[in-house]
Amino acid sequence: MNLKQVLEITARQVPQKAALILDSQRISYRELSNASNRVANVLLGLGLRQGDHVAILMPHCPEWVIHYFGIIKAGGTAVLLSSMLKAPEIDSLLRDSDTRILITKKEFSRMLATVLPNIPRLDHILVIDDDSYSARVSQNSAMPPEVELDDDDNATVLYTSGVLGRQKGVVHTHASLIGTTDIVSAGLGRGREDVIIDTVPFFYMLGLSEILLGSIIKGATIVIVPRFTPRAVLEAIERERGTILFGVPAMHIALAMLRDEVIQDYDLSSLRVASTAGAKTSPRLMKILEDKLQLTLCETYGLTELSVVSMSTLSNHKLGTVGKPIGDLKIVDDHGKEVATGEIGEALFKVPWMMKEYYNAPELTAQVIQDGWFHTGDLVRIDEDGYLEYIEKRSFIVVTPSGLKISPFEVEDVLLSHPSVAEAAYVGINDGNYGPVPTAFIVFKPGQRTTANELTRLCLQNLADFKLPRRFEFVDSLPKTGSGKINRRQLKERAD
């Protein structure tokens, strides 16, 4: 089944049912299907050819979903851009992805003004809250275009720095994007009557595959919480009678830390399960969450390249683990030899829903996919009962409690562009509470100095806010390996 069929089948079965809710905005499955048909016909009218790349740069909203399916129905490949990125990052990804059409909103216009004139293959910019665009959409047919789609066609490119430490486009097909949706739905007990409370943007694999597509296949209702606050989530659960809450550990921790009297102000009796993914959790805090909200917490482990590969279920879960693998798994040491039960090693997975490739990067693809096995770069161990525990990344990618992955190299490149900086190292330092604190260690050039505030301003101009160092340490030297590289592990252990 392809993604066009995913929406059309549900729209035929439950046309009047609410598909998407954001505050007072409610869009039925029929309205979602018709609106995406109009967008598809607009794109085809602009000369979109099958497989052309169309980028989406929008906040977490129903219009994002409408335009995503519009791209799919027109035969395009959707390039998903994080709304948190800054102009230099957007510039790089638009170039790397060979984007022909960009779909965005007015709120990004100022940032994009410095970027768009220089993108070589970009032919069209569609600003969806512009009157001329709205008129163009309304004039197009709500009938689906006659575009033939195959399950193995490219559907989406998502950008990640999670495995190899540099931004790269992960190419997924129609089939690979929905490869785990039924498994996840079965594990969570998700069905047509469920109301999904969604705090995760759709430009992440978790938001796109497991929340959006998984819910649409089942005909569930998705309640979008565009900006996470604990009270916004509690209000959405009470108002819409939410049954399943999706989020990342940082969000669940914030809910767990709420005072009992705050929670008691809301009717949360409809909520029965929460699903968390993206970062390592605290078993103690997750148990507090279960007890306070009277639900079952199911932890999930996956990657942008693989979607879900291990998960807890309603009937089989153990806090502190990511449940049991749902695909073929090998845990190996540094020499590729499988380790014994209970020992730590790198996780290798072989699953039918693996990504197709990294876009225009065959050498990077060959690094991570060897003999059909995907090398995750993640250190894990499995216990005697078959439960998998995520330990940390083998590389020095910084993973925040929100599940955001930060390559140290892109932050260090920005810091090294300052004329006073001789060396820079960016690592996550354990604070003993809620996860790693992104910390920059700086060595100055002889006779030169600058301030943390000035370095922060430099980073603000070039990096998404979540990538900014939260702490600066000015040091005389950085520890090095025998080959002269920065010894990040020694630096991290010393600081910890």
Number of structural domains (the chain) is 3
Query: Do 411 and 386 share a domain, yes or no?
Result: no
Looking up tokens 């969570």 gives 188
Q: Indicate whether 64 belongs to any domain.
A: yes
Q: Which of 367, 393, 419 is the last residue of a domain?
A: 393
Helices (H), 219-321: 230-240, 249-256, 260-263, 283-293
Alpha-carbon gap, residue 316 to 85, rounded angstroms: 38
95: CATH: 3.40.50.12780
Alpha-carbon gap, residue 78 to 302, rounded angstroms: 21
Query: Do 142 and 230 share a domain, yes or no?
Result: no
> pTM here?
0.87
Q: Which of 393, 426, 450 is the last residue of a domain?
A: 393
* Whether the Cβ atoms of residue 487 and residue 458 lie closer than 8 Å to each other: no
Query: Do 363 and 421 share a domain, yes or no?
Result: no
Distance of CA 212 to the CA centre of its chain: 12
Query: Do 260 and 209 share a domain, yes or no?
Result: yes
Closest CA to 301 of 222, 215, 433, 392: 392
Q: Which residues contact 237 (CB under 8 A, 6 or more apart)?
A: 197, 245, 266, 268, 270, 271
Alpha-carbon gap, residue 108 to 377, rounded angstroms: 34
Query: Do 134 and 58 share a domain, yes or no?
Result: yes
Domain that holds residue 41: 3-149
Q: Indicate whether 184 belongs to any domain.
A: no
Alpha-carbon gap, residue 179 to 305, rounded angstroms: 12
Alpha-carbon gap, residue 281 to 166, rounded angstroms: 25
Radius of gyration of the chain from Cα atoms? 23
Alpha-carbon gap, residue 364 to 294, rounded angstroms: 45
> For residue 351, what are its two tokens?
């699953």
Q: What is the pLDDT along the chain (496 residues), one digit of tens a residue?
A: 999 999 999 999 999 999 999 999 999 999 999 999 999 999 999 999 999 999 999 999 999 999 999 999 999 999 999 999 999 999 999 999 999 999 999 999 999 998 988 899 999 999 999 999 999 999 999 999 999 999 999 999 999 976 665 789 999 999 999 999 999 999 999 999 999 999 999 999 999 999 999 999 999 999 999 999 999 999 999 999 999 999 998 899 899 989 999 999 999 999 999 999 988 888 888 999 999 999 999 999 999 999 999 999 999 999 989 999 999 999 999 899 999 999 999 999 999 999 999 999 999 999 999 999 999 999 999 999 999 999 877 777 787 777 787 888 889 989 999 999 988 999 988 776 666 889 999 999 999 999 999 999 999 999 999 999 999 999 999 887 665 668 887 888 777 6
Length in residues, the chain: 496
Query: Do 363 and 444 share a domain, yes or no?
Result: no
Q: Indicate whether 401 belongs to any domain.
A: no
Q: Which residues contact 466 (CB under 8 A, 6 or more apart)?
A: 84, 400, 402, 404, 406
